[in-house]
Amino acid sequence: MSGLHRVAGNQLTLLQNGTEFFPRLCADIDAAQHSICLETYIFAADGTGQMVAAALQRAAARGVVVRVMLDGFGSAELPQHWVDELRTAGVEVEWFRRKISPLTLRRSRLRRMHRKLAVMDGEVAFVGGINIIDDVEGYSGFFVPRLDYAVRVQGAVAGEIHTAMRRLWSAVSWANFRGRGKRIQRFVFDRLKQVAASDIAFLLRDNLRHRRDIERAYLRAIAGAQQEIIIASAYFLPGRVFRRALVQATRRGVRVVLLLQGRVEYRLQHYATHALYDRLLAAGIEIYEYQASYLHAKVAVVDGQWATVGSSNIDPFSLLLAREANLAVQDAGFAGELRASLLAAIANDAVRIGDEYGGTRNLMGRLIARFSYGIVRLLVGMLGHRRGGS
């Protein structure tokens, strides 16, 4: 069981994988008295999805206002009858950009809602990278959960998260021509508070004022690092600014460790990342590939003092197209717990990519990596990403 950390008047609990996350989520849903907001990229029609859906339906049955926002791409495979059952039970469901043409490259149509958030009564919240989906994968007769994290927050930050979710709900429901009238007034707005403490920050990525907040938080932490940087990212394809910051850290004598995807999930992104390995290794950056199952984490720890957990990968698609949410925490206890978990994953379930990586790859491997990187750069350019950005 994870420890409880008190930071700036908030109580934080680090949750690893669905085995810790889903029981706590459902317990807090069952304890909610007034309102529940849930946002997820993927809501799967599997055992985990059924468990969470049942908890949401129980809450609606006892008079709690329940709102669920699903991404139209990530949750596209959710059967319509699941959505109908939720709505029949009294759960309000909205879709973020339900329909999308596979041929369009218009950035406005490709933007996704990649956040994984939940808030109960404006007082308890969850922030992280875990979708509503069975997170166990089978390999060679063994069943191992995808490596992922979330944070349970109790305190003023939960109110701030509630405010952000309420605003997105209003915008999307208006865009979908489905205003909620008086039901909106039933939410617990008077409990919402702004968090002034610098030791904990709720970070958003949107297309307006907060376009680069998550990226800037990473860059500030990296620039201030004195001893160690550990980053775990399922999809890692940073721009030049981010890469330069990591290289400069190694030149200051900082140990930089990357825990990256070891299993091929999306080939284009996977091999595009490989195109960066030679330069990163040459700079003295340690690279480990997670092997036990799929890596889905989007977390980092700096100097054992600063940590972030959330939904944002370090790649142009997260930083350009997706609505994301991370929690940044300045606390040795919380950061130390996450650091210990990552170091255990590196020691037990990852392989280190050696300095000989470039020399041992065959010509075809090099061509595939360079071609994949070129295609990603072309797509990013077509979508209007700023040259040299990260």
Fold match between 4-191 and 200-382? Answer: yes
HSE toward the beta carbon, residue 315, CA cutoff 13 A: 24
For the structural domain made of 200-382, what CATH number should be given? 3.30.870.10
- DSSP type of residue 206: -
Backbone angles phi, psi at 321, to 5 degrees: -110, -20
Average pLDDT over all residues of the chain: 85
What is the H or E stretch that residue 350 is in?
A: strand 350-353
- The percent of residues above 70 in pLDDT, for the chain, comes to 77
> Which of the following is catalytic: 28, 71, 116, 274?
116
Residue 378: band (very low, low, confident or very high) from pLDDT cuts 50, 70, 90: low
Residue 303 has pLDDT above 80, yes or no: yes
Q: Where do the structural domains in the chain lie, given as residue ranges?
A: 4-191, 200-382
Measure the CA–CA gap between 187 and 244, rounded to whole angstroms. 45
- Catalytic residue status for 296: yes
Condensed to tens digits (0 to 9), the pLDDT of residues 74-102 reads 999 999 999 999 999 999 999 998 765 55
Q: Tell me which of 71, 296, 331, 385 is the catalytic residue.
A: 296
Q: Find all residues with CB under 8 Å of 46, minimum gap 6, and list them.
A: 133, 134
Q: Average pLDDT, stretch 260-283?
A: 81
* 370 contacts 276 by C-beta, under 8 angstroms: no
Reply yes or no on whether the pLDDT at 148 is more than 90.
yes
Residues 320 and 187: their CA atoms lie apart, in Å, by: 31
Rounded average pLDDT over 4-13: 94
Mean pLDDT of 20-24: 97
Among the listed residues 114, 162, 270, 274, the single catalytic one is 114
The answer to whether the beta carbons of residues 271 and 369 sit under 8 Å apart is yes
68 versus 102: which is more confidently predicted?
A: 68
Q: What is the mean pLDDT of residues 337-350?
A: 97
Structure-block tokens of residue 51: 């468990």
Active site residue 116: yes
Q: How many helices (H) and strands (E) does the chain have?
A: 13, 19
Retrieve residue 2's tokens. 């994870």
Dmax (CA) for the chain in angstroms is 66
C-alpha span between 128 and 301 (Å, rounded): 15
Nearest to 267 by CA among 180, 371, 195, 343: 371
The pLDDT of residue 158 is: 97
**Which CATH class, in words, describes the domain spanning 4-191?**
alpha beta
How far is Cα 242 from Cα 310, in angstroms, rounded to an integer? 18
Selected catalytic residue, list 28, 71, 121, 206: 121
Q: Which of 364, 352, 266 is closest to 315 using CA atoms?
A: 266
101-138 pLDDT, tens per residue? 554 545 555 678 999 999 999 999 999 999 999 987 65
Please, is 121 exposed, middle or buried when counting C-beta atoms within 10 Å of its C-beta (0-12, 13-18, 19+)?
buried
3-state secondary structure of 339: helix
Q: 140 with 291: CB under 8 angstroms?
A: no
User: Among the options 135, 148, 303, 315, which is catalytic?
Assistant: 303
Assess whether 182 carries a catalytic annotation: no
H/E segment holding residue 35: strand 35-40
Catalytic residue among 298, 315, 349, 385: 298
User: Alpha-carbon distance 183 to 65, whole Å?
Assistant: 8
Report the predicted TM-score, pTM, of the whole model to 2 decimal places: 0.87
CB 216 within 8 A of CB 192: no
Look at the alpha carbons of 81, 143, 153, 227 in this order and tell me if their dihedral is positive or negative: negative
Q: Are strands 255-261 and 286-290 parallel, antiparallel or unpaired?
A: parallel
pLDDT of residue 184: 40
Least-confidence region, from 63-72, 175-184, 267-276: 175-184
**3-state class of 14 per DSSP?**
strand
Q: How many CA atoms lie within 13 A of 57 on its CB side?
A: 14
Asked whether the predicted pLDDT for residue 389 surpasses 80, the reply is: no
Residue 379 binned pLDDT confidence (cut-offs 50, 70, 90):
low
Higher pLDDT, residue 266 or 183:
266
Predicted confidence at residue 239, as pLDDT, reads 86
* Identity of the residue numbered 383: L
* pLDDT over 90 at 65, yes or no: yes
Q: Report pLDDT for 191.
A: 38
Q: Is 114 a catalytic residue?
A: yes
pLDDT of residue 289: 94
| pLDDT band with cut points at 50, 70 and 90 for residue 7 | very high
CA atoms within 13 A of residue 179's CA, in its CB half-sphere: 3
Q: Write the pLDDT tens digit of every residue in 316-328.
A: 776 667 899 999 9
Tell me the pLDDT band of 387, cut-offs 50, 70 and 90: very low
The answer to whether residues 50 and 30 touch, using CB atoms and an 8 Å cutoff, is no
